[in-house]
């Protein structure tokens, strides 16, 4: 893309780690700052068949939980029913799509939203098309990347693999966070962030707990936006240059971590 747009690409170490929840919560945080973020899910699989056509649960959830009014087909231009990697799901259902059609929807949303929260699909090596992985889409979109990971033992390996590859592809990593901590963090959960940061150089935003008040059915984000707000480093808002940071934030130039 010629003009690199303002926004962030939210990816994860896996599917089900909390990308959608974090995307929705981040939108709420930005809305509270008086900003006007949009949501974009370039590709989704595992969509539900509805009278209006296939609908991705992620899109339905984020739009409802954040009161965004954008058209679901614009927010999610490629919506596939089989719960498979998009490459396989598209091949099975005969759906054809092009990168330019995805970027066209994205640009159209950008007209209404100066900041875009983009959610990937699965992890970063999920195949979208022949010879085209999520990382290739990330490079095309040129956005800084946020990695959502699980906190438990084993996360060092998955998170470092993700961060290392992002770096190799020349992508700017805004940070990583852990989501879904159940109960008190053990030694593994407490020590992993430092190790990952040290080896990758990526900033750790913090740990989001499992919150039983989060509900897909009730479109509830529970305590997550409030917690995420406290974790967002001030430098993050510099991403959103076109309108600048809100006045209250400009006064305090200290970095909050």
Ligand X SMILES: Nc1ncnc2c1ncn2[C@@H]1O[C@H](COP(=O)(O)OP(=O)(O)O)[C@@H](O)[C@H]1O
CA distances from 17 to 20, 148, 177 (A): 9, 7, 10
Active site residue 41: yes
Instruction: Report what 16 binds from Mg ion, ligand X, none; CB cut-off 5-8 Å by kind.
Output: ligand X
Q: Is 15 in the site for ligand X (CB under 6 A)?
A: yes
Q: Give start and end residues of each alpha helix (H) in the chain.
A: 19-32, 57-66, 72-75, 86-93, 99-112, 134-141, 155-168, 187-200, 224-231, 247-251
Which CB atom, from 15 or from 36, has the smaller least distance to ligand X? Answer: 15
180 φψ region: left (φ > 0), alpha (ψ -120 to 50), beta (else):
left
| In the complex, minimum distance from the CB of residue 20 to Mg ion, in angstroms, rounded to a whole number | 3
Q: Which of the following is catalytic: 41, 64, 111, 129? A: 41
Instruction: Report what 216 binds from ligand X, Mg ion, none; CB cut-off 5-8 Å by kind.
Output: ligand X
Residues 223-242 that bind ligand X (CB under 6 A): 224
| In the complex, minimum distance from the CB of residue 182 to ligand X, in angstroms, rounded to a whole number | 9
Which CB atom, from 91 or from 211, has the smaller least distance to ligand X? Answer: 211
In the list 116, 208, 231, 232, the residue contacting ligand X (rule: CB under 6 A) is 208
In the list 56, 80, 196, 214, the residue contacting ligand X (rule: CB under 6 A) is 214
Q: Is 216 in the site for ligand X (CB under 6 A)?
A: yes
Q: Is 26 in the site for ligand X (CB under 6 A)?
A: no
Instruction: Report what 129 binds from ligand X, Mg ion, none; CB cut-off 5-8 Å by kind.
Output: none
Which CB atom, from 19 or from 113, has the smaller least distance to Mg ion? Answer: 19
Q: Is the dihedral of CA 184, 194, 116, 251 positive or negative?
A: positive
In the list 1, 210, 238, 243, the residue contacting ligand X (rule: CB under 6 A) is 210
Residue 37, SS3?
A: strand
Q: Name the residue with tokens 């039983």.
A: 212
Distance of CA 9 to the CA centre of its chain: 5
For residues 19 and 145, the answer to whether their CB atoms sit within 8 Å is no
Residues in the interface with ligand X (CB under 6 A) total 16
Residue 198 exposed, middle or buried by CB count within 10 Å (0-12, 13-18, 19+): exposed
- Separation of alpha carbons 247 and 253, rounded Å: 11
Q: Is 42 in the site for ligand X (CB under 6 A)?
A: no
Q: Which residues are catalytic?
A: 41
Question: Binding residues for ligand X, per CB under 6 A?
Answer: 12, 15-21, 179-180, 208, 210-211, 214, 216, 224
């Amino acid at each position: 893309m010629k003009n690199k747009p303002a926004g962030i690409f939210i990816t994860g170490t896996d599917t089900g780690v909390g990308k959608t929840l974090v995307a929705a919560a981040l939108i709420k945080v930005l809305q509270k700052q008086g900003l006007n973020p949009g949501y974009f899910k370039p590709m989704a699989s595992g969509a539900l068949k509805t009278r209006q056509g296939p609908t991705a649960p992620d899109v339905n959830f984020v739009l409802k939980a954040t009161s965004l009014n954008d058209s679901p087909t614009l927010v999610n231009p490629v919506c596939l029913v089989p719960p498979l990697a998009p490459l396989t799901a598209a091949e099975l259902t005969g759906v054809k799509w092009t990168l330019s059609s995805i970027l066209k929807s994205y640009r159209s949303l950008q007209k209404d939203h100066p900041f875009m929260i983009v959610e990937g699909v699965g992890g970063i090596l999920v195949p979208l098309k022949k010879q085209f992985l999520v990382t290739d889409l990330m490079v095309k979109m040129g956005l800084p990347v946020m990695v959502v990971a699980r906190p438990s033992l084993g996360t060092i390996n998955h998170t470092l693999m993700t961060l290392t590859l992002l770096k190799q592809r020349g992508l700017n990593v805004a940070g990583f966070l852990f989501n879904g901590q159940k109960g008190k963090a053990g030694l593994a959960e407490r020590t992993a962030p430092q190790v990952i940061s040290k080896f990758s150089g990526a900033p750790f935003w913090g740990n989001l707990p499992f919150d039983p008040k989060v509900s897909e059915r009730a479109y509830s984000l529970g305590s997550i936006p409030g917690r995420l707000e406290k974790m967002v480093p001030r430098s993050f808002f510099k991403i959103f240059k076109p309108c600048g940071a809100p006045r209250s934030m400009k006064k305090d130039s200290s970095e909050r971590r």
